[in-house]
């Protein structure tokens, strides 16, 4: 592996959930420890399973991995870190401020930015305290802070004063309040991250066009703030030998090779490693030691029992949705799980049944709209450009709230407007113009703000001011838009995930986030399931068997109702393929 050639002291692994960051980080830690170097592996991932991978209880203390001499591990619990962080900030004002104000502050401190900053707060000492990490030749971090978080930590001081003066709405600046005492330590940690002699970033991806586009954005964002020492690992590539007897495997292999041939230009100069897909879970030393070995994937692995998955499919959810004749259908989930495709499939099937449908999407790939537009009665499509809408929203806020700010205050506001919440707000405002149609037709929306963002919008009044005025007020004179989303008779939220450990956990966290905002998930959709696709390849069949546990977890612990959508041989683009995904009760086996 190129990324392990002459490694610096700090290695950070970053990437979307489910791409294999933890497995790559654990295998790298074992590789370095086996070479006789003393290694500390640190996880700040909310879905961390480092302890499970090694078969030991780790937790928030440095723990020696007895089966691997010279390797120790530490799991920072992000939720515990956030709670301690929140208590430290909210504690002094509890009882002094009205309860509604305190709840607003707590909501400020409940988003993804807080989790990242609290985790950064925890591992700052590992980057800067030489006594704490003395003796370790390498420290590997499973999950790196985003460029947005690092930029926030680089900003001038006076966060508390900026907020206290009411110069900015509640958003990502809130988590930074009261951190002046740690600024020097934070600066030292950020300096360590940007030092190519000390730090290397490993961008972990899958051989998928959407994932590689996301990695390209991450690369540019981090390089722009000085984190230029980057490597890329493309994980989980299907071996060609698996394609010989399975049309599905052949189609996956062809798609992956096309994605690799068309890697975004900004990534083409990065040192690059490839890791082949393995048929087994990355648990235990034997599996981890074979992860970087390309020959291990060619061994046939038998599946003990036949895989005849009998789970609810997407058409059964559409049956229930169609009974209402109209309403708002919101698809939510992390990037890369297939929200846009499923939204289009549901919209196409509802329209095929003669029901009026408006599909509104923020998918940057315009080919979806072009494929659908004018090809199906009862279906209209609108596409929002997230970059354009976010730019408009930022400009509006800077011209209004930012007009009277000094240079330092404006710098804080501009960074706040680079947060992920900003795009959610901007895109949702653009969508709001068509949401009013859900009183007389189906509106299917493929992107939605998180519960945390919705609560912030409602708490600051931005909801009512910026969205309500655009919506049909008939029957809404006594409610806010948040109340409409909380009403299951008007809105159905579908959470989209994959049958893999990290995506399921991320989806469960999203569901809890929505619940805090009073929004109940109506259903879950497990997308791109190998277990539902009738694969013949031995490797894919073993992967399918591994999915069954996650499907059971969703069905038994998380979802009120659910459906499983298969991984398809042909990508579901175009009306006919989308209709096949959502319309046939039992899809025929693909040739």
Q: What positions carry a catalytic annotation?
A: 18, 20-23, 45, 502
The residues near 572 (Cβ < 8 Å, ≥ 6 apart) are 341, 344, 345, 578, 580, 581
How many angstroms separate the CA atoms of 72 and 53, rounded? 13
How many angstroms separate the CA atoms of 579 and 587, rounded? 11
How many angstroms separate the CA atoms of 300 and 289, rounded? 18
Q: Which long-range contacts (CB under 8 A, 24 or more apart) does 297-304 make?
A: 297/239, 297/539, 298/239, 298/241, 300/538, 301/538, 301/539, 301/542, 302/538, 303/538, 303/541, 303/542, 303/544, 303/545, 304/545
CA gyration radius, the chain: 24
Beta strands in 9-111 (DSSP E): 10-14, 39-43, 63-64, 71-75
Q: Which two tokens stand for residue 453?
A: 């963002």
CA of 483: how far to CAs of 333, 440, 456, 471, 479, in Å? 21, 18, 14, 13, 6
Q: Between β-strands 10-14 and 199-206, what pairing exists: parallel, antiparallel or unpaired?
A: parallel
Q: What is the 3-state secondary structure (H, E, C) of 321-354?
A: HHCCCCEEEEEECCCCCCHHHHHHHHHHHHHHCC
Helix (H, G, I), strand (E, B) or coil at 359: strand
How many angstroms separate the CA atoms of 231 and 1, rounded? 10
Which residue stretches of 224-270 are H helix? 247-261
Reference 161, options 415, 455, 393, 406; nearest CA is 406
CA angle in degrees (0–180, nearest 5) for 517-520-525: 125
- As a residue count, the chain comes to 591
Helix (H, G, I), strand (E, B) or coil at 106: helix
């Amino acid at each position: 592996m190129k990324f392990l050639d002459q490694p610096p002291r700090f290695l950070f692994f970053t990437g979307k959930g489910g791409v294999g960051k933890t497995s790559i980080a654990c295998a790298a830690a074992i590789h370095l420890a086996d070479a006789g170097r003393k290694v500390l592996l640190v996880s700040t991932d909310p879905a961390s399973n480092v302890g499970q991978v090694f078969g030991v209880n780790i937790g928030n203390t440095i723990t020696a991995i007895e089966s691997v001499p010279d390797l120790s591990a530490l799991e920072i619990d992000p939720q515990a870190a956030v709670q301690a962080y929140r208590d430290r900030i909210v504690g002094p004002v509890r009882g002094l401020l009205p309860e509604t104000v305190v709840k607003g502050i707590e909501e400020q401190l409940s988003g993804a930015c807080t989790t990242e900053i609290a985790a950064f707060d925890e591992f700052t000492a590992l980057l800067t305290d030489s006594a704490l990490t003395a003796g370790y030749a390498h420290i590997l971090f499973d999950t790196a802070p985003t460029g947005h978080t690092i930029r926030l930590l680089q900003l001038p001081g006076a966060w508390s004063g900026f907020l206290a003066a009411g110069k900015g709405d509640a958003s990502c600046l809130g988590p930074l309040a009261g951190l002046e005492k740690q600024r020097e330590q934070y600066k030292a940690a950020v300096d360590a991250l940007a030092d190519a002699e000390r730090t290397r970033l490993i961008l972990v991806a899958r051989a998928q066009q959407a994932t590689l586009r996301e990695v390209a954005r991450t690369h540019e964002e981090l390089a722009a703030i000085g984190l230029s020492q980057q490597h890329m690992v493309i994980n989980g590539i299907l071996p060609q030998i698996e394609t010989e007897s399975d049309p599905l495997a052949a189609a996956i292999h062809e798609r992956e090779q096309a994605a690799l041939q068309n890697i975004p230009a900004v990534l083409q100069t990065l040192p690059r490693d490839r890791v082949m897909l393995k048929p087994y879970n990355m648990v235990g030393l034997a599996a981890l030691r074979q992860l970087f070995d390309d020959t291990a994937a060619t061994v046939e692995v038998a599946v003990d029992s036949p895989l005849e998955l009998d789970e609810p499919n997407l058409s059964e959810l559409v049956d229930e949705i169609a009974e209402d004749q109209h309403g708002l259908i919101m698809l939510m989930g992390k990037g890369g799980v297939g929200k846009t495709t499923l939204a289009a499939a549901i919209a196409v099937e509802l329209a095929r049944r003669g029901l009026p449908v408006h599909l509104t999407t923020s998918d940057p790939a315009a080919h979806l709209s072009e494929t659908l537009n004018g090809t199906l009665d009862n279906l209209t499509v609108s596409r929002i450009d997230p970059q354009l809408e976010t730019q408009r929203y930022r400009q509006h806020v800077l011209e209004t709230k930012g007009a009277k700010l000094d240079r330092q205050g404006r710098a804080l506001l501009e960074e706040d407007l680079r947060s992920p919440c900003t795009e959610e707000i901007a895109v949702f405002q653009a969508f709001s113009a068509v949401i009013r149609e859900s009183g007389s037709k189906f509106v299917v929306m493929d992107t939605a703000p998180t519960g945390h963002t919705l609560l912030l919008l409602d708490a600051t009044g931005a909801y009512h001011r910026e969205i309500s005025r655009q919506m049909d007020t008939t029957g809404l004179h006594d409610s806010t838009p948040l109340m409409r989303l909380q009403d299951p008779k008007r809105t159905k939220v579908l959470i989209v995930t994959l049958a893999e450990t990290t995506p399921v956990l991320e989806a469960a966290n999203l569901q809890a986030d929505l619940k805090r905002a009073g929004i109940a998930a109506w259903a879950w959709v497990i997308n791109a399931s190998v277990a539902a696709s009738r694969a013949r390849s031995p490797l894919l069949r073993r992967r399918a068997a591994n999915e069954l546990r996650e499907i059971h977890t969703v069905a038994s612990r998380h979802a009120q109702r659910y459906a499983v959508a298969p991984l398809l041989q042909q990508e579901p683009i175009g009306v006919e393929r989308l209709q096949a995904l959502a319309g046939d009760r039992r899809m025929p086996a693909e040739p």
